[in-house]
Amino acid sequence: MQAEIITIGDEILIGQVVDTNSAWMGQQLNLIGIDVLRISSISDTKEAITDALDALYPETKLVLITGGLGPTKDDVTKNTLCDYYNMKLIYQPEIYAHIEKLFAALDRVPAAANKEQAMLPDGCRILPNYMGTAAGMLFNKNERLIVSMPGVPYEMKHIMEEQVLPIAIKELIRQHIVHKTVLTVGVPESELAERISYFENGLPIHIKLAYLPRPGMVRLRLSARGKDKESIERDLAEKVSLLQTILGDVVYGTDTETLEQIIGGLLNIKKHTLSTAESCTGGYIAHKITSVSGSSAYFLGSVVAYANEVKISSLQVDKQVLESNGAVSEQVVKQMAEGARKNFNSTWALATSGIAGPDGGTKEKPVGTVWIALAGPTITAAKKFQFGTHRDRNIKKSAFAALDMLRAALIKS
């Protein structure tokens, strides 16, 4: 089953507002087995809306339209749809009663323009909007459902969840789609593809693999489609298990799990604690760790030692070692980790020192050079990385690499 999404509004086209509605709607449709063929953003004009409707793919059976249903003159969606489908507007007293109730709760009286919102096409199925003043509309034409909803995200989501999705499930032929995402860290997309090429080539036709890279990690999403949900779930579980076996420790979790959540769980189980000493990551590792609820049970604190003086005074880095080797070096980052572990009396400590960029590099230490150290009960280890020239990506990649070093050590300890 195929669908299209059309978002209406000049504010989207000029970048004043980011279209988050389409992403959310696409996710919801995918969960019930409906594929989105196309997402379009168009101007709030009668001509643009009409052209978009004329250009729908023949195989499209569901069209979701958002925006252009407000009470002001620049919102023309309702009138355009009414004309397009040769209908006329009629007054809906129950819709206006709802609008009055909303305004009364705010100790206000609806304007004349709000009363116009109770004028709706006579041939549509009205989708009440209990979160706002603009009702949704559903048109059923030539075995195709066209749904118009307000662009306000929480109003659109309310109408989708309470009305549109149940209607789509009931009235449209569909198949089941089941997803499972395997999360990997520390291995580039191209190398992963080589490692699992035999696995990928052997997937049955109803299971597809997608590579979804992010800085420092790659998500491997397996999607299975079919009419028998239990059967495709079994097939998918088998393939996920095989993929995890092939990749081994490269896999740190599945679906929406995060590396910091996994590490938090390991620290809790082992009753270990953690501290960080960060230079090039500027506290980003501490931010990731403390983004997990309950992290106070195992995370003790952090020193953001950006300046060399702070490395010396707060982390007991030897001044001569720093001057001889430079801040971005194995010797210094190890001393940073050991200093943090000693200062906070933590079981483990992570440290980073590098050149995030875009400037500051040298021939010997180009931009993207990062040293990461891990100090623990029996070891202090450091590793050098070369991440690239993009500052934000370097910071994120450094944090992921540091967390993965800790994850590996916790699994072995």
Q: What is the CATH number of the domain that holds 289?
A: 3.90.950.20
Are 113 and 159 part of one and the same domain?
yes
pLDDT of residue 174: 67
Q: Could you give the CA distance from residue 58 to residue 61 in angstroms, rounded to a whole number?
A: 8
Domain carrying residue 389: 259-412
Are 246 and 269 part of one and the same domain?
no
Residue 23, token pair as written in the block: 């992403």
Are 85 and 22 part of one and the same domain?
yes
Are 375 and 391 part of one and the same domain?
yes
Q: Could you give the CA distance from residue 240 to residue 180 in angstroms, rounded to a whole number?
A: 7
CA 245 to chain centre: 26
Q: Could you give the CA distance from residue 280 to residue 307 in angstroms, rounded to a whole number?
A: 10
Q: Could you give the CA distance from residue 70 to residue 75 in angstroms, rounded to a whole number?
A: 6
CA 106 to chain centre: 35
Are 399 and 285 in contact, with CB atoms under 8 Å apart?
yes
3-state class (DSSP) for residue 159: helix
Residue 169 binned pLDDT confidence (cut-offs 50, 70, 90): confident
Q: How many domains does the chain have?
A: 3
Least Cα distance to 336 among 292, 302, 360 occurs for: 302
3-state class (DSSP) for residue 127: strand
Residue 325, token pair as written in the block: 């080797």
Query: With 0-12 CB in 10 A as exposed, 13-18 as middle and 19+ as buried, what is 286?
Result: buried
Tokens 């196309």 found at = 38
Least Cα distance to 234 among 243, 248, 224 occurs for: 224
Q: In Å, what is the CA distance from 306 to each residue of 80, 170, 286, 303, 326? A: 59, 59, 14, 9, 13
Least Cα distance to 8 among 56, 50, 60, 61 occurs for: 50
Choose one of 171, 200, 229: the last residue of a domain. Answer: 171
Are 92 and 161 part of one and the same domain?
yes
Are 53 and 83 part of one and the same domain?
yes
pTM: predicted TM-score of the whole model, two decimal places: 0.70
Q: What CATH number does the domain containing 215 carry?
A: 3.30.70.2860
Are 277 and 154 part of one and the same domain?
no
356-394 pLDDT, tens digit each: 989 888 888 999 999 999 999 999 999 999 998 899 999
pLDDT of residue 15: 92
Choose one of 137, 171, 205: the last residue of a domain. Answer: 171
pLDDT of residue 72: 82
Are 286 and 405 part of one and the same domain?
yes
- How many CB atoms lie under 10 A from the CB of residue 227? 11
127-141 pLDDT, tens digit each: 999 999 999 999 999
Tokens 């002001």 found at = 72
Q: What CATH number does the domain containing 101 carry?
A: 3.40.980.10
Are 166 and 49 part of one and the same domain?
yes
53-79 pLDDT, tens digit each: 999 999 999 999 999 998 888 789 999
Are 403 and 366 in contact, with CB atoms under 8 Å apart?
no
Counting Cα atoms < 13 Å in the Cβ hemisphere of 396 gives 11
280-330 pLDDT, tens digit each: 999 999 999 999 999 999 999 999 999 999 999 999 999 999 999 999 999
Are 13 and 152 part of one and the same domain?
yes
Between the two ends of the chain, the Cα-to-Cα distance in Å is 50
